[in-house]
Amino acid sequence: MWSEDDTVLISALEHFSYCPRQCALIQVERIFDENVFTLRGRRAHERADEPLLTTRENDVRIERALPLWSDALGLLGKADVVEFHDDGRIVPVEYKHGPRRERRHDDLQVCAQALCLEEMLGKTIAAGAVYSIQTRRRRDVPLDDELRQATRDAIVAVRALNNDAGPLPPAVNDKRCPKCSLLDACVPATVVAARHDRLAANLFAPVPTEELS
Ligand code: SF4
């Protein structure tokens, strides 16, 4: 059994993929700020979590807000939607609301959901999907070996981060920051400037005279 500290939340994989510092601020420092993107995302998830948990559309049974776990991987979370097709296919679908961004973050999350479902149901899942509330478009996510390994690697990395008592990962201070809900808490420009100041101070520090002789 995994301890609480060693159990990784599926949602943390997305945060880690976006920015390891963001993941550490949420998981380790327990800081979470809402911004317009997270509020819209929460609304999207609330819709997927609406009370009618099981429905049927033609040849697909749809389960919403399905709890997920993997004892093998120490993973825990919830799927927005899982489709059970009459032809045997099982497809986890992650609902997203927000600006277009790198697909990798969402793909890791969908893959982690699929890994849980495979263990829970004893079935192989070939693909998941990401549904954009904004564009009403759906994108298939093939679960190839590379994505599965990247997901497993991310789980290990998040677990290490959760148990790391050292300093937070460095601020990325790039185009990700303006869209980040933790911008105020993180203050990436200040952190990066302070790091540069420290490096400069070390670089130009006077050399002790005994080292010159
Ligand atoms: S503000 Fe930037 S560096 Fe800080 S957590 Fe967000 S993305 Fe990462």
45 Cα: distance to centroid of ligand 1 (angstroms): 23
Pick the residue whose CA is nearest to atom 4 on ligand 1.
186
Ligand 1: atom nearest CA of 22 is 5
> Whole-angstrom Cα distance, residue 198 to residue 97?
39
Please say whether the beta carbons of 98 and 40 come within 8 A: yes
Mean pLDDT (the chain) is: 84
Minimum CA distance residue for ligand 1 atom 7:
177
Q: From the CA of 151, how far away is ligand 1's center (Å)? A: 21
Q: What is the DSSP letter of 99?
A: S
Mean pLDDT lowest among 75-89, 92-106, 173-187, 197-211: 197-211
Q: Which of 76, 92, 90 is nearest to 13 (CA)?
A: 76
Task: Please write the tens of the pLDDT for every residue from 53-88.
Answer: 899 999 999 999 999 999 999 999 999 999 999 999
pLDDT tens digits along 184-193: 888 876 665 5
Burial of 20-50, coded b for 16+ CB within 10 Å and e otherwise, reads bbbbbbbbeeeeeeeeeebebbeebbeebbe
Relative to the CA of 176, which ligand 1 atom is closest?
A: 7
Q: How far apart are CA 174 and CA 157, in angstroms?
A: 22
What is the per-residue pLDDT for 2? Answer: 87
Cα-to-centroid distance, 48 and ligand 1 (Å):
27
Q: For residues 10-29, give the mean pLDDT.
A: 90
User: What is the tens place of the pLDDT at every residue in 98-121?
Assistant: 655 668 999 999 999 999 999 999
For residues 129-155, give the mean pLDDT: 94
Neighbours of 4 (CB within 10 A): 7
* Protein residue closest via CA to atom 5 of ligand 1: 22
pLDDT at 162: 87
pTM greater than 0.85: no
Residues in the chain: 213
84 alpha carbon – ligand 1 mean position (Å): 37
Provide residues with CB under 6 Å of ligand 1: 19, 21-22, 25, 171-173, 176-177, 180, 182-183, 186, 188
